[in-house]
Amino acid sequence: MSKTIELTTPLTDEVLSGLKAGDAVLISGDVYTARDAAHRRMVEALDRGEALPVDLKGKVIFYAAPTPAPPGKVIGSIGPTTSYRMDPFTKRLLDLGLKGMIGKGKRAPEIMEALKAHRAVYFGAIGGIAALMSRCITKVEPIAYADLGPEAIVKLTLNKLPVVVIGDTRGGNLYESLP
């Protein structure tokens, strides 16, 4: 059994080059939530020549929509959403230096190739344990697109969020390598 790798954002090419599909990882540091609507809005802003609300260089996007925080908590439940819905927008964001994405499920072959080309990584998070995942979040800060409600861009500060490397910088794909 391999050991668990601990990473802290922002991510660098050097750190990511050491990961391979199947590695267990604990991510700490700041990541940003963004789902379909936020991705669409970011790409539309780029098409108009506008700056994004977040500099994506070295950053990680978590494909999730957190629920409101109950009393005494920083966040409600938060779990990954199906990643392929972000595929139409992903290459544009990788071009801007995005280094990691957290979600669930398979990605299109062209996205897996783009990970290799941009030396980025796709992490898989476990669906169905959203209440447990919220324990790994120590701070929540709204960033942009508040009118999108739970699909707004939010900065999360993580403490050892468990994920697995699905797609690595060398073209490894956990879904393709499983028996």
Q: Which residues are catalytic?
A: 39
SS3 7: strand
Q: Is 101 exposed, middle or buried (0-12, 13-18, 19+ CB in 10 A)?
A: buried
The closest of 148, 143, 39, 27 to 84, measured between CA atoms, is: 39
Contact by Cβ (8 Å): 133, 78: yes
Which candidate, 136, 118, 178, places its Cα nearest to that of 25? Answer: 136
3-state helix, strand, coil in the chain (%, to 5): 30, 30, 40
Question: What 3-state class would DSSP assign to 70?
Answer: coil
Q: How many CB atoms lie within 10 A of CB 11?
A: 24
Crossing angle, helix 36-47 and helix 87-95, to 10 degrees?
50
